[in-house]
């Protein structure tokens, strides 16, 4: 029988090919890395932000909003730490096509820290009825600064084409708004939750250098060995600066 190279067949073949290429490790059992990032000693109290300059921002936080540059939860866990595989990753990992999203809400970035892959779009949404400008200040990638008036609800940056840890993003209108974006060639990163916990999923077995990065505390690295099917554990403890 002669197979006609129709659109349907072609799409099917492309899909099969894509699946074979995109999921190289699908046949193997993957590992993962879990852990907790903590700050030793007593948890510092986050100062209150002064948002009076923009009544829209102030109204979003009737009880006031706390600074987010160092959030330490009960048990010493640190939120918004970027944890990623710094060295040891082999192979190529096509970027996700769905964007990493940062929402501007109550004149704060939600979340304050995100990771994404080279080539993956970075989307900013504006949930606020006020003007924000999204000012990215990379050192490796191309800088950007676009205005998001209150009626502009979303905007994507598709030009993050090189790995860079981390890119500082800020709003000049609201000087307390500050965020960080980590761009990697692979998908093995996580941002700690409010208790300081993280999980990096789908890590191929191997030996890696893992880095935990926090804007005020700095960075720590650790050597981690990941076995197939078994979660590796790696905690990080920072000392108050």
Partner 1 sequence: MSTRKPRNNALLALMLAVASFLSISAIVRTALGAEIVVAEEEQLRHGKVLYASYCSGCHGVNGDGQGPAAAMLIVKPRDFTSGLFKFRSTPNGTLPTDADLMRTITRGVNRTSMPEWSLLPERERMALVQYVKSFYPGFAESGPGRPIFIPAPPATLGSPESIARGRQLYEMLECGRCHGPNGLGDGPSAATLAPDSWGNPQKPFNFTKGALKSGAAPEDVYRTFMTGLNGTAMPSYADVFDEPDGENVKPGDAWNLVSYVLSLRTPSRPGTQVASEEGAAVNAAYRGDLARAGYTAPLPEPAQAGANKESKP
Residues that bind partner 1 (CB under 8 A): 53-54, 130-131, 133-137, 142-147, 149-152, 155, 159, 170, 172-175
Considering the complex, state which of residue 142 and residue 230 has its C-beta at the smaller distance from partner 1: 142
Q: Which residues of 36-56 are buried (b: 16+ CB within 10 A; e: fewer)?
A: bbbbeeebeeeeebebeebee
Considering the complex, state which of residue 120 and residue 141 has its C-beta at the smaller distance from partner 1: 141
Q: What single-letter DSSP state applies at residue 217?
A: T
Least distance (Å) from partner 1 to the CB of residue 133? 4
- Beta strand 132-137 pairing with 164-170: antiparallel
CA 49, distance to chain mean position in Å, is: 23
Least distance (Å) from partner 1 to the CB of residue 232? 39
Least distance (Å) from partner 1 to the CB of residue 131? 4
Least distance (Å) from partner 1 to the CB of residue 141? 9
Considering the complex, state which of residue 68 and residue 79 has its C-beta at the smaller distance from partner 1: 68
Encoded tokens for 65: 């909003």
Half-sphere exposure of 76 (CA within 13 A, CB side): 13
Contact 228, 206 (CB under 8 A): no
Considering the complex, state which of residue 105 and residue 146 has its C-beta at the smaller distance from partner 1: 146
Considering the complex, state which of residue 136 and residue 182 has its C-beta at the smaller distance from partner 1: 136
Considering the complex, state which of residue 22 and residue 53 has its C-beta at the smaller distance from partner 1: 53
Considering the complex, state which of residue 50 and residue 96 has its C-beta at the smaller distance from partner 1: 50
Rounded alpha-carbon distances, angstroms, from residue 150 to 1, 23, 57, 147: 61, 41, 12, 10
* For residue 111, cis peptide bond before it (omega within 30 degrees of 0): yes
Least distance (Å) from partner 1 to the CB of residue 7? 16
Contact 147, 172 (CB under 8 A): no
Is the CA virtual torsion 217, 222, 224, 230 positive or negative? negative
**Whole-angstrom Cα distance, residue 42 to residue 48?**
18
Least distance (Å) from partner 1 to the CB of residue 148? 8
């Amino acid at each position: 029988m002669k197979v006609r190279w129709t659109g349907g067949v072609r799409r099917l073949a492309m899909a099969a090919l894509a699946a074979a290429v995109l999921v190289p490790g699908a046949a193997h059992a993957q590992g993962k890395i879990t852990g907790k990032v903590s700050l030793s000693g007593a948890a510092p109290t986050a100062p209150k932000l002064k948002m009076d300059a923009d009544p829209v921002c102030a109204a979003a936080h009737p009880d006031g909003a706390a600074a987010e540059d160092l959030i330490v939860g009960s048990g010493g866990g640190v939120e918004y730490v970027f944890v990623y595989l710094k060295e040891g990753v082999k192979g190529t990992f096509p970027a996700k096509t769905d964007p990493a999203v940062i929402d501007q809400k109550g004149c704060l970035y939600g979340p304050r820290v995100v990771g994404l892959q080279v080539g993956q779009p970075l989307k900013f949404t504006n949930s606020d009825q006020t003007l924000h400008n999204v000012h990215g200040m990379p050192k490796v990638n191309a800088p950007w600064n676009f205005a998001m008036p209150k009626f502009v609800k979303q905007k994507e940056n598709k030009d993050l084409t090189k790995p860079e840890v981390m890119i500082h993003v800020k709003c000049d209108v609201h000087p307390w708004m500050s965020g960080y974006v980590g761009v990697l060639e692979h998908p093995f990163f996580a941002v700690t939750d409010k208790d300081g916990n993280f999980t990096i999923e789908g890590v191929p077995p191997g030996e890696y250098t893992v880095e935990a990065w926090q804007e005020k505390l700095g960075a720590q690295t650790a050597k981690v060995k990941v076995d197939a099917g078994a979660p590796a554990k790696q905690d990080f403890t920072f000392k108050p600066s």
